[in-house]
Structure 1
Amino acid sequence: MKLSVFGFQALWSPYFLCVIILVSLLFFASATTWRHRFSVSEPLTKAQAVYFSLAMMLLYIVKGTPIDVLAHISFTMHMVQMALLLLLVPIVLIKGIPWWMWQAFISLRIIRPLWRVVTQPIVSLFTFTLLFSFYHIPVILDVVKLSEPLHAAYTSLLFSSAVWMYWSLLNPIPGSKEIKGLHKIGIVMANAVLITPACALIIFADMPMYETYVAGDAWLQSMALCVPASTLAMLPSLGVTGPELFMSMSTLEDQQLGGIVMKIIQEIIFGALLYSIFRKWYKNEQKNADAITAAALEERKAMSQYY
């Protein structure tokens, strides 16, 4: 059966596209024409404009195109959607927003104390991995997918936790306390390790775990997250009773493939991030080699006085 049965609004989310366009226009106006209203500002660079535009495009692709409908039909597509939304979009978003706009946001009285806590490397690492792992516990995912407000709230919190987690690695504000390159590498590797158990449980399960991806009322109810109520009411009369009508594999195979795909995408993104961190760290070490050597000699000299 073709996806066109769900209608244009479900497949292309025109209202969400309008929101994305509006946010983009407000951002570029704030970063160019209105930037002098900020206490500190700099001209928007081409790289920042490209990164922000890419973030908005990715956000629309994963949440506003047929990928969103497919993510409610196929668990594999759900994991692709989650991987891109949580592991890739936050990186390009942080890089796309100028540091002085970040600084203005973080300096808000209501934001400053909370941001200081949630962006601590250990706190952000465990917050993200726990929220991600809890979300994929069958009873939690099924409950969340049956409530539009709950789904929106949990997804927003999960996305925010991903931004907090990446902040300690990509903090663009000049003069901010920066953790060492080796520690950044440790955070990325720890993240990969902590997400693995959730993926492993999904990959090695011997039966479908999620009611909202099995034929029946639960699946039809979950489709209300992306399909208008009027269209949803017509689906049973059109013979649409379950996700198996749109897939060539069984529910269990789709579930197992989803866990594998999530792990593969995660390894690719984290691998590229590790390369970037290591490269920057190595260049910094080479650039400041003399200063590092002098500091090491001074430390050794000071220690020798005690022996």
Structure 2
Amino acid sequence: MPLSIFGFRAMWSPTFIGVLLFITVIYFLVTIKWRKDFKNSTPLTKYQAVCFLLALLSLYIIKGSPVNLLSHIMFTMHMVQMALLLLLVPPLLIKGIPNYLWQYLIDLPIIKPVFRFLTKPVVALIVFAAFFSFYHIPLIFDFVKLEETLHGIVTLLLFLSAIFMYWPLVNTLEDQPKMKGLHKVGYLIGNAVLITPACAMIIFASAPMYATYTDGEIWMKAMALCVPAGTLAGLTQLSGPELFTNMSPINDQQLGGVLMKILQEVIFGIILSKVFYEWYRNERENADQITQEALLERQRLRENEYR
């Protein structure tokens, strides 16, 4: 069956478009017209604007286009949606918001201690992996998918945990935790390792685990998250997601787990290539200083040996 039977609102989310356009207008007003109202503000750069717009465009494709509708029909598309939402959008958003705005937000009394704790590298890794893994436990997953408000809260918490996870990697604020060189490599590897058990559970399961993608009645209830109630009530001919895909539920589930890992490796690979490039450039530009520091350190070690 064609997706068009669910209607224009379900496929293209015009309300969500309006929300994103409103956010875009506010962003440019704050960063251009009202910029001087903030302490230590700096002019908006093209790089920041492009990153922010790419983040919002990606967010619309992920949560507002037919990709969102497909994510409720096929588990494969759900995992693609999760990979892009949690691994692609957060670094773009962090880079797209100027540092003085991040500083203003982080310095708010309620947010500051929480943000400081949750962006510690070890804490950020564990929180993100725990949220992702627990969310995909079948009992929790099916329950969340049937409650619209709860689904929205859980999705927001997952997204925030991804922001915290990426913060030590990509933020450029002077007083915020950040890592250099090989520490970033180890951090990304650790992230990949920690969410592997959840993906392995999905990939190597001997039977479909999620009722919201296999049980026709429960699936119809879950579709209420993205299809207006009036439209859904009129689609009495629907019996389940099998009407929209030729894949069996188990193959759909396994492919979703595999694509999640592939997309993670691709995105992390791009970040790692940037990390190595920055390390190489720093080594070349500061070769004399690095050599001098190494010689001084070696001299200090020798002096300590003779004492």
Could you tell me which residue of structure 1 aligns to residue 275 of structure 2? 277
Query: 1:115-134 alignment to 2 at 5 Å?
Result: 115-134=115-134
8 Å Cα contact 2:220/2:240 also seen in 1? yes
TM-score for the superposition, normalised by structure 1: 0.97
| 1:65-122 C-alpha deviation (Å, 9 max, x unpaired) | 1111100000000011011100000011111111111111111111111111000001
Could you tell me which residue of structure 1 aligns to residue 213 of structure 2? 213
Could you tell me which residue of structure 1 aligns to residue 22 of structure 2? 22
Query: How many Å apart are 1:174 and its aligned residue?
Result: 4.0
8 Å Cα contact 1:235/1:241 also seen in 2? no
| 1:180-219 C-alpha deviation (Å, 9 max, x unpaired) | 2111111011111111111111111111000000132211
The separation in 1 between residues aligned to 2:114 and 2:175, in whole angstroms, is 20
The separation in 1 between residues aligned to 2:166 and 2:6, in whole angstroms, is 36
Query: 1:131-210 alignment to 2 at 5 Å?
Result: 131-174=131-174, 176-210=176-210
8 Å Cα contact 2:170/2:178 also seen in 1? no
The answer for unaligned runs of 5 or more in structure 1 is none
1:303 corresponds to 2:301 = yes
8 Å Cα contact 1:211/1:218 also seen in 2? yes
Query: How many Å apart are 1:177 and its aligned residue?
Result: 4.8
TM-score for the superposition, normalised by structure 2: 0.97
Query: How many Å apart are 1:300 and its aligned residue?
Result: 1.8
Q: Which amino acid aligns with 1:147?
A: E
Could you tell me which residue of structure 2 aligns to residue 231 of structure 1? 231
Q: Which amino acid aligns with 2:143?
A: V
Q: Which amino acid aligns with 1:70?
A: L
Could you tell me which residue of structure 1 aligns to residue 56 of structure 2? 56
1:36 corresponds to 2:36 = yes
Q: Which amino acid aligns with 1:206?
A: S
The separation in 2 between residues aligned to 1:212 and 1:153, in whole angstroms, is 19
8 Å Cα contact 2:167/2:178 also seen in 1? no
Q: Which amino acid aligns with 2:23?
A: V
Could you tell me which residue of structure 2 aligns to residue 292 of structure 1? 290
Q: Which amino acid aligns with 2:241?
A: P
The separation in 2 between residues aligned to 1:175 and 1:72, in whole angstroms, is 41
The separation in 2 between residues aligned to 1:178 and 1:53, in whole angstroms, is 25
SS in 2 for 1:247: coil
The separation in 2 between residues aligned to 1:177 and 1:60, in whole angstroms, is 30
The separation in 1 between residues aligned to 2:239 and 2:39, in whole angstroms, is 57
Q: Which amino acid aligns with 2:96?
A: G
Could you tell me which residue of structure 1 aligns to residue 245 of structure 2? 247
Query: How many Å apart are 1:292 and its aligned residue?
Result: 2.0
Query: How many Å apart are 1:54 and its aligned residue?
Result: 0.6
Query: How many Å apart are 1:257 and its aligned residue?
Result: 0.6
The separation in 2 between residues aligned to 1:93 and 1:76, in whole angstroms, is 25
8 Å Cα contact 2:185/2:272 also seen in 1? yes
The separation in 2 between residues aligned to 1:231 and 1:298, in whole angstroms, is 74
Query: 1:87-106 alignment to 2 at 5 Å?
Result: 87-106=87-106
The separation in 2 between residues aligned to 1:165 and 1:179, in whole angstroms, is 12
8 Å Cα contact 2:31/2:43 also seen in 1? yes
8 Å Cα contact 2:216/2:241 also seen in 1? no
Q: Which moved more, 1:69-78 or 1:194-203?
A: 194-203
The separation in 2 between residues aligned to 1:171 and 1:141, in whole angstroms, is 32
Structure 2 CA distance for partners of 1:130 and 1:175, relative to 1, 3 Å? closer
Q: Which amino acid aligns with 1:104?
A: Y
Structure 2 CA distance for partners of 1:131 and 1:33, relative to 1, 3 Å? same
SS in 2 for 1:207: coil
The answer for unaligned runs of 5 or more in structure 2 is none
8 Å Cα contact 1:215/1:244 also seen in 2? no
Q: Which amino acid aligns with 1:255?
A: Q
8 Å Cα contact 2:168/2:177 also seen in 1? no
Provide the identity percentage: 56
SS in 2 for 1:306: helix
8 Å Cα contact 1:99/1:174 also seen in 2? no
The separation in 2 between residues aligned to 1:129 and 1:228, in whole angstroms, is 33
